[in-house]
Every structure is written in structure tokens, then in C-alpha cells.
């Protein structure tokens, strides 16, 4: 592995205007990181990555590199790009395993973080290093959110999330698992108990539905539910997946690892929301794809699809009389997720848009003073790196907000 990493690193041209960095949503200093490694200072390279992106080790595994850093590499124009993801993962893992924060002076200010997905973990790490007393409220038994319950083990080993949990503990972060804020404890309770600010990063866990006949049948499931715990499902030998995003690819590849023999992905379009990387792996593992079709009705022995005709300008219309049955033992619907508004409904002053997502300004401030949000609950289902990039700004905004409260208190006392 080390030899391969160094071989890749030596291919970097150290461009004066690194396009790879421009292609990264969190502006990772890729060429600087690579050449610091080549200079023999892996610790400095690791620190560079961690300070820019606390979830660098995770992003190096799950990002859509072909459309981001590697896709923008100048070497990609005539050949293979520098595989920055491999280099980043090697450096980040080395650094994170040895990372010790040392003594951090506490400032006595409490911040509550609701949800321990990528946004929540990133903000907890940033603010804890600044001396804040952080408590994470997690509705499930383990931290990670979509990282743990929405991405398969073969793409993101869950042992990495356990490492993050230990780092959070080493910073003095408190974690309350199996605690759903809004059902017992309310956000008003948090402010009552001395939290100066509250961050909401609960993600989007309500599956989008097709709204067609048969969707409530017993052999029909939703991708986000299936990925949470595939072991409890019995799908049979033949699976139909409706949708062609990354979640659909995760479902397809997971199902094949759980004794499903035939998996077919059905899509309205012949271009897919999933990355080429994930599609190619799915095809390699035996997943079939059928395009320009849409589901009409789900029945006991499969799903009825109709063919779609394209007018050449992107408009698709259903072809009359093309309906046919595609047999399947189970059907999984993978057309993304929306927000579950249980917490919002029980918290006054929080406005949402027509998709049920929390409304914030560019700094993550919601419509209620002292409450911040970022991640999928604000932007809808997006990428991990985008959630972390935005959360860095939100962490700064929370810090600034609490410092502003302190100044107000000092002025009043005078």
C-alpha cells in the first residue's frame, strides 16, 4: 500500500493553479498535502487534512472523487488522474490513529448537538477543541447517522466511526444514545438546562414514495430502511430496484451480499444519479440495468413497468400499450429521502420550506434565535463532504453567537 501511495504521489504535477483543489467541495489542499508527504512529513500532511476537514478519513472513502478532485486533475484529460483519494486515506488514517488533542481549556459554555451524522460529528469536533462542553443527542444506539445506517460496510467500515467516537470522548464530548429530542426531551428543555446554542443535524430519514398502487404490499421496501439493517430482510432470489442513485447502488450491492441472486435496477433515464464508479462496480458484481421505464403498479409477483419514449430533447412520455410485468420476489424503492418533521413540529419558531427542510441563512442560523442547522435536514440528501464543508461555517457561527451573548451579558452588568 505504501509503495502504491508514493507512486501515485510522485505523479502529482504540483500545479500552480491546482484544479483538483477547485473541484473539491471543501477545498482540500491536495497538492500541498501530497508534496508535504513526499518531503517526508506525514504528520504535517495529516494535520493539514484534519484541520481542513475533520472527516477527511471518511471522505477519502465515500466521496465522488471522479467528479470532484480526481475528475478535475489535469492528468485526467489525457490519461489517469492522480488518485488523490488513496493518498488522502493513507495519510488521514495514519494521522487520525495517532491524534492526541492534549489539554483543552474549557470555557464553561454548553452546546447541544442533535444528531450524530457527518454534520454533527464535524461540529462536535470543532467546538470541543475550542473549549465548549458538547453533548450529542443521538436517536439510535450508535453514532454516525447516515454514515453508519445508510452506507454499507464494504464502502465505509464501521470501525472508523467507532474511532471517531473515541476521539469525541477524548475531547470530553458527552454522548446520549437512544435519545430522541422532541419525544421526551424538548429543545426548550435544553435551553432551560443551560445550553447556550442548539445544533440540529438529524438528516433526512423519511423515504420518498412513488404514490402508485401496490406500494404497501409486504414485499415492498424503501432503500433507506433496508440499508439501516439489511440482515433483518428476506428478499428472495430476485430483486427489483426502482431508482438509480448511489443509494440504489448500495442496495443492489448489499443485496447480492445477502443471498439475492438477481438484481435489476430500473430507471426513467439512461443517465444515472449514481457515480460512474458505483455503477461500474454494480455492473461488475452482476447488477442489470433497464432504462427508459417507469413503474405503473406493484403486484404480488413483481412490478408492472411502462416504456418511455424520448423526443430527443430530454422529454420522456409513456408509450401506450407498453405495460408489462417484470417478475421479482421483492421491490425496493430508492428515490431519495425527505425530512421527518417530528422535532420541528414540537419546537416553536422553526420555519421550513415546501420540502419540509429547515430554513437557515448562509451561516446555518434557523428562524429561531440560538438554534442552528446544517446537513441534509437543510439541503436535502447531499454528499458527506458538502455537509462537512457547510458545518465548518456553522461551527464558526455558533462560536460567534455565544461570544456575542457573553458580550451582551457584560454590557448589561455594567
Fold match, 2-98 / 209-335: no
Q: How confident is the model at residue 357 (pLDDT cuts 50, 70, 90)?
A: confident
Distance CA 202, CA 374 (A): 9
What is the SS3 assignment for 109-140? CEEEEECCCHHHHHHHHHHHHCCCEEEEECCC
Cβ-proximal residues to 117 (8 Å cutoff; 6+ apart), any chain = 144, 145, 146, 147, 201, 202, 203, 375, 376, 387
Q: Given pLDDT bands bounded at 50, 70 and 90, which one contains residue 382? A: confident
Helix H, strand E, coil C: the string for 279-293 is HHHHHHCCCEEEECE
Distance CA 254, CA 129 (A): 37
Give the containing element (helix H, strand E) for 379. helix 376-379
How many angstroms separate the CA atoms of 96 and 102, rounded?
14
Structural contact between residues 287 and 311, judged by C-beta atoms closer than 8 angstroms: no
C-alpha span between 402 and 59 (Å, rounded): 30
CA distance 364 to 375: 9
| pLDDT of the residue at 313 | 74
Half-sphere exposure of 98 (CA within 13 A, CB side): 11
| Among 410, 404, 350, 399, residue whose Cα is nearest residue 126 | 399
pLDDT at 78 over 90: no
For the chain, the structural domain boundaries read: 2-98, 110-205+338-413, 209-335
Using pLDDT thresholds of 50, 70 and 90, give the confidence band for residue 146. Answer: very high
CA distance 44 to 31: 13
Per cent of the chain over pLDDT 90 is: 81
pTM for the full model? 0.92
* 336-to-183, 204, 231, 244, 289 alpha-carbon distances in Å: 25, 9, 21, 10, 18
Q: How far apart (Å, rounded) are the C-alpha atoms in residues 73 and 18?
A: 8
Averaged pLDDT of the chain? 93
Distance of CA 128 to the CA centre of its chain: 22
Q: 3-class SS at 397?
A: helix
Q: Would you give the end-to-end CA distance of the chain in angstroms?
A: 62
pLDDT (0 to 100) of residue 408 = 74
What pLDDT digit, counting tens, does each position of 215-270 carry? Answer: 999 999 999 999 999 999 999 999 999 999 999 999 999 999 999 999 999 999 98
2-98 is a CATH 3.90.1150.10 domain: no
Residue 1 pLDDT class (50, 70, 90 cuts) = low
Q: Would you state the cell numbers that stand for residue 161, as one nine-digit string?
A: 466511526
Could you tell me where the beta strands, DSSP code E, fall in 28-124?
110-114
Q: Which residue has the higher pLDDT, 2 or 268?
A: 268
Write out pLDDT tens, residues 276-326.
989 999 999 999 999 999 999 999 999 999 999 988 777 899 999 999 999
Number of residues in the chain: 414
Nearest to 118 by CA among 86, 85, 145, 89: 145
Fold of 110-205+338-413: FAD/NAD(P)-binding domain (3.50.50)
CATH number of the 209-335 domain: 3.50.50.60
159-207 pLDDT per residue, tens: 999 999 999 999 999 999 999 998 889 999 999 999 999 999 998 888 9
Amino acid at each position: 500500500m505504501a509503495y502504491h501511495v508514493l507512486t501515485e504521489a510522485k505523479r502529482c504535477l504540483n500545479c500552480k493553479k491546482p484544479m483538483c483543489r477547485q473541484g473539491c467541495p471543501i477545498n482540500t489542499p491536495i497538492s500541498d498535502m501530497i508534496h508535504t508527504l513526499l518531503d517526508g512529513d506525514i504528520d504535517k500532511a495529516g494535520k493539514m487534512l484534519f484541520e481542513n476537514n475533520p472527516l477527511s478519513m471518511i471522505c477519502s472513502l465515500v466521496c465522488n472523487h471522479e467528479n470532484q478532485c480526481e475528475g478535475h486533475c489535469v492528468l485526467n484529460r489525457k490519461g489517469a488522474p492522480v488518485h488523490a483519494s488513496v493518498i488522502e486515506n493513507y495519510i488521514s488514517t495514519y494521522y487520525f490513529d495517532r491524534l492526541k488533542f492534549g489539554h483543552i481549556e474549557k470555557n464553561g459554555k454548553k452546546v447541544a448537538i442533535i444528531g450524530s451524522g457527518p454534520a454533527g460529528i464535524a461540529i462536535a469536533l470543532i467546538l470541543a477543541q475550542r473549549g465548549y462542553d458538547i453533548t450529542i443527542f443521538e436517536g439510535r444506539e450508535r453514532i454516525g447517522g447516515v454514515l453508519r445506517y445508510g452506507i454499507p460496510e464494504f464502502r465505509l467500515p464501521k470501525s472508523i466511526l467507532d474511532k471517531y467516537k473515541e476521539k469525541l470522548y477524548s475531547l470530553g464530548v458527552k454522548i446520549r444514545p437512544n435519545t430522541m429530542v422532541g419525544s421526551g426531551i424538548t429543545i426548550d428543555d435544553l435551553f432551560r438546562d443551560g445550553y447556550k446554542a442548539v445544533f440540529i443535524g438529524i438528516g433526512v430519514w423519511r423515504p420518498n414514495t412513488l404514490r402508485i398502487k401496490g406500494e404497501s404490499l409486504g414485499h415492498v421496501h424503501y432503500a433507506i430502511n433496508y440499508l439501516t439493517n439489511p440482515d433483518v430482510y428476506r428478499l428472495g432470489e430476485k430483486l427489483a430496484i426502482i431508482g438509480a442513485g448511489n443509494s440504489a447502488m448500495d442496495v443492489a450491492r448489499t443485496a447480492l451480499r445477502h443471498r439475492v441472486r438477481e438484481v435489476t435496477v430500473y430507471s426513467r433515464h439512461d443517465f444515472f444519479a449514481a457515480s460512474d464508479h458505483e455503477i461500474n462496480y454494480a455492473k461488475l458484481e452482476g447488477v442489470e440495468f433497464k432504462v427508459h421505464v417507469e413503474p405503473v403498479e406493484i403486484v404480488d409477483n413483481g412490478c408492472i413497468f411502462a416504456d418511455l419514449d424520448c423526443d430527443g430533447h430530454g422529454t420522456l412520455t409513456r408509450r401506450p400499450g407498453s405495460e408489462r410485468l417484470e417478475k421479482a420476489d421483492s421491490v425496493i424503492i430508492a428515490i431519495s429521502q425527505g425530512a421527518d418533521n417530528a422535532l420541528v413540529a414540537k419546537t416553536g419558531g422553526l420555519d421550513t420550506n415546501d420540502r419540509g427542510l429547515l430554513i437557515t441563512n448562509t451561516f446555518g442560523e434557523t428562524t429561531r434565535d440560538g438554534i442552528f442547522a446544517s446537513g441534509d435536514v437543510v439541503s436535502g440528501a447531499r454528499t458527506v463532504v458538502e455537509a462537512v464543508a457547510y458545518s465548518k461555517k456553522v461551527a464558526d457561527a455558533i462560536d460567534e453567537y455565544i461570544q456575542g451573548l457573553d458580550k451582551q451579558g457584560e454590557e448589561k452588568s455594567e
